[in-house]
Structure 1
Amino acid sequence: MEIKSFSQLITQIQNGTPLTAAIVSAADPHTIEAALQAYKEKIAIPIFIGEGKKIEQILNSLGENPNSFEIINECNILRTPYIANSLVNNGRASLIVKGFIDTSELLHGILDKETGLRTGRSMSHVAFLEVPGYHKLIGITDGGIVVAPDFKAKKQILLNAVDLFKRLGYESPKVAAVTAADKANKSMPDTIDAFELQELNRKGEISDCSVEGPVSYDIVVSPESAKLKGFPGKHSGDYDVLLLPNIAAGNILSKSLIYNAGAKMGGIVTGAKVPLVLNSRSSSPEEKFYATVLAAACSKLSSTSKLLILFFEQG
């Protein structure tokens, strides 16, 4: 299965009971606006955590009755992630959405050794973009968490992304290890890493996906460029996941597609007990909404898969 658009993803997860989202440090108009859209679209029911009076004022300004929603009053911003942890650990929330709180402050609480949501896996960010001119959603990783990954970290980032796509229904995601060149070159270490990831995939040490690398961006999107360059890969113009060499490359590519190409984006962090929506505090309500949709889909569709096989296996 391939997901063509966010609207398709929304349709897929609107049936059944909406999930519950813990909104951390929720006293932020854009965050609340996105949460309300997710609520009205039957994607997620919000629990707002933060300064109660400010949250009520924002809800009133948006024409909503604060009494219609659960609001957990906590004026100490550093305490809000711990409340979210408790909601998840008690089975009351299935995803966490960042409000007006610094990412480092949120993660400090979320990853608390005693009460946090660690799984033993490394965490990484996957951005899904709906790009005009590309025929399906495309994933970009990691533009938000891991700053300068070495080979071992790149492998884990790749595995996290593949796991996410599998949970969304993809049988074998097509991955491009993107660099500035399309051939391995010892003077460009990222190309060597990309080639080694491709070889691990061919040997079966990285499974459930198809990895090609190194791949330059023109080959990612243009089969004609691949043909002209004699690129030996099979998936030019049809990749599902772009593995970028570092956080700068991932962040710049994503923002370029958003601001220059009119792409829509939603991104989540994988590797914790539940999906984490960690948008920038300056992100638009639309971007925060799409990220919530993606997080809900990740949780809901994977749960459905488990039920179907016994409903699958615990994962």
Structure 2
Amino acid sequence: MPSSTTNSKPASSDDRLSSIFPEQHALMRALVTKASQLGPVPYAIVWPCSSHALGGAVEAARHGIIVPILVGDREKIEKTAAQYGLDIEGMRIEQAATPEAAVKHAVALVHEGVVRGLTKGSLHTDTFMAGVIRQESGLRTKRRMSHVFCIAVPDYPDLLLVSDAAINIAPVLTTKRDIVQNAIDLHHALGLGTPRVALLSAVETINTKIQGTLDAASLCKMADRKEITGGVLDGPLAMDVAVSFESAEIKGVESPVAGRAQILIAPDLESGNILVKTLAFLGKAATSGIVIGAKVPVLLTSRADDATARLASAAIGALYARHLDEHTGD
């Protein structure tokens, strides 16, 4: 009688990713797979003194996405690893006594060429970003820094990039130009092609009482004059018209962007943040995010981010770091 015994095999990386990213988030899983296949990129993990911060770095390293260099208090890092059963054997630890010192040291590692990106650990966002954006850090460019969320929404055919929902509170027109260009650049860096960019507002027509409609029209003209490149822009567009062909048809809006936007530009931080959290908590979307516009990518993870968000953010950061390397001097 043939044996009924089956050979058990360890779970492959693809199997592990499928368990982390269900089919409804397959677009996000594809980005993580791509980053994993290209090999790890060295990243400084700044003050990884919590289970979430250190665990995210360990998970990203396990999938071959990053090589974590842990910057913080060695005793606290090792205690966290032991307490939560996290394997950090072989990982480089750079001693820094305080969160402020950790940020400063991580920035120095960038300039030394040791790391190609920064990830916020368990320190306060204000402390982390203050060390990144200050003039003395040497990480600023001519472009304004902005945050871009990458979102996989169930049943929507494309990944959505949403900006800015985390850094620029009430951006003026010139800042919005950089916000748009940063998002377009990220879309290309992820290998997603030329994006369709919706400049969001409450209506699709110009209303002098709604500043967002005026800015949207100006941004479209800036794209016509090549002050913004690499994307197809339209706006102002209401959210329903941006993502629904049916709504666009009912409202009579004819546009190469309407109904199939890939980048959503919010008029201000409040509306952008509400949009992202609505998609995540009510729309069951998978989210991740990155700060663009510095000399290296900056991952601004939240304490509330789960393993899915942290792993996806690491993948996006690794892919963008490669893009910057390939386009240095452009």
TM-score by length of 1: 0.92
Task: List aligned pairs for 1:67-86, cutoff 5 A.
Answer: 67-86=89-108
Tell me the CA shift for residue 73 of structure 1.
2.4
* CA-CA distance at 1:302 after TM superposition: 4.7
Question: Deviation at 1:180?
Answer: 0.7
Q: Distance in 2 between matches of 1:210 and 1:107?
A: 31
**Residue matched to 2:291:** 269
Deviation at residue 65 of structure 1 after TM alignment: 4.0
Of 185-194 and 142-151, deviating more is: 185-194
Q: Secondary structure at the match of 1:71?
A: strand
Q: Which residue of 1 aligns with 2:16?
A: none
User: Which whole-Å CA distance do the structure 2 matches of 1:222 and 1:16 have between them?
Assistant: 35
Distance (Å, rounded) in 2 between the aligned partners of 1:232 and 1:76: 55
| Counterpart residue type for residue 329 of structure 2 | Q
Residue 101 in structure 1 maps to residue 123 in structure 2: yes
Name the aligned partner's letter for residue 33 of structure 1. G
Supply the distance in 2 between the matched residues of 1:113 and 1:195 (Cα, whole angstroms).
Answer: 32
- Is 1:42–2:75 an aligned residue pair? no
Aligned residue identity for 1:266: S
- 1:314 aligns with 329
Displacement of 1:22: 0.4
The 1:62/1:299 distance shift into structure 2, 3 A limit, reads same
- CA offset at residue 16 of structure 1? 4.1
TM-score by length of 2: 0.88
Which of the residues 36, 43, 47 maps onto 1:14? 36
Change (3 A) 1:16 1:233: closer
CA contact (8 A) 2:36 2:315 kept: no
Q: 1:228 to 1:33 in 2, by over 3 A?
A: same
Given candidates 43, 50, 53, the residue that maps to 1:31 is 53
Contact 1:31–1:285 (CA<8 Å) still a contact in 2?
Answer: no
Q: Distance in 2 between matches of 1:205 and 1:97?
A: 31
1:99 maps to a residue whose letter is: G
SS in 1 for 2:176: helix
Match of residue 124 from structure 1 = 146
Which of residues 292, 295, 298 is equivalent to 2:317?
Answer: 295
1:254 aligns with 2:246: no
CA distance in 1, matches of 2:249, 2:142: 42
Q: What CA distance in whole angstroms lies between the structure 1 residues aligned with 2:266 and 2:135? A: 30
Aligned residue identity for 1:105: T
Name the CA distance, whole Å, in 2 between partners of 1:65 and 1:254.
33
- Any residues of structure 2 matched to 1:120-159 within 5 Å, and which? 120-159=142-181
Q: Compute the displacement of 1:197 (Å).
A: 1.3
Match of 2:282, SS state, is helix
Gaps of 5+ in 2: 1-24
CA pair 86-211 structure 1, distance change in 2 beyond 3 A: same
Alpha carbon RMSD of aligned pairs, Å? 1.8
**Partner secondary structure for residue 269 of structure 1:** strand
Determine if the alignment matches structure 1 residue 284 to structure 2 residue 299.
no
Establish whether residue 162 from structure 1 lines up as the match of residue 177 from structure 2.
no
Of residues 79, 86, 91, the one that matches 1:57 is 79
Cα 1:274–1:205 change in 2 (3 A) is closer
Structure 1 residue 301: Cα displacement: 4.2
Mean Cα displacement is larger for which, 139-148 or 95-104? 95-104
2:133 counterpart residue number: 111
For residues 229 and 39 of structure 2, the distance between their equivalents in structure 1, rounded to whole angstroms, comes to 33
- Gaps of at least 5 residues in structure 1 are 307-311
Work out whether 1:218 is the aligned partner of 2:233: no
Verify the 8 A CA contact 1:220 1:239 in the aligned structure 2: yes
CA change 1:187–1:299 in 2 (3 A) is: same
Number of residue pairs matched?
Answer: 306
The residue type paired with residue 314 of structure 1 is: G
Between the aligned partners of 2:212 and 2:255, the Cα distance in structure 1 is: 18
Higher deviation after alignment, 163-172 or 206-215: 163-172
The answer to whether the 8 A contact 1:25-1:51 is kept is yes
Question: Which has the larger displacement, 72-81 or 207-216?
Answer: 72-81
- Partner of 1:67: helix, strand, or coil? coil
Hey, what's the Cα distance between the residues in 2 that align with 1:268 and 1:157? Answer: 12
What percent of counterpart residues are identical?
Answer: 31
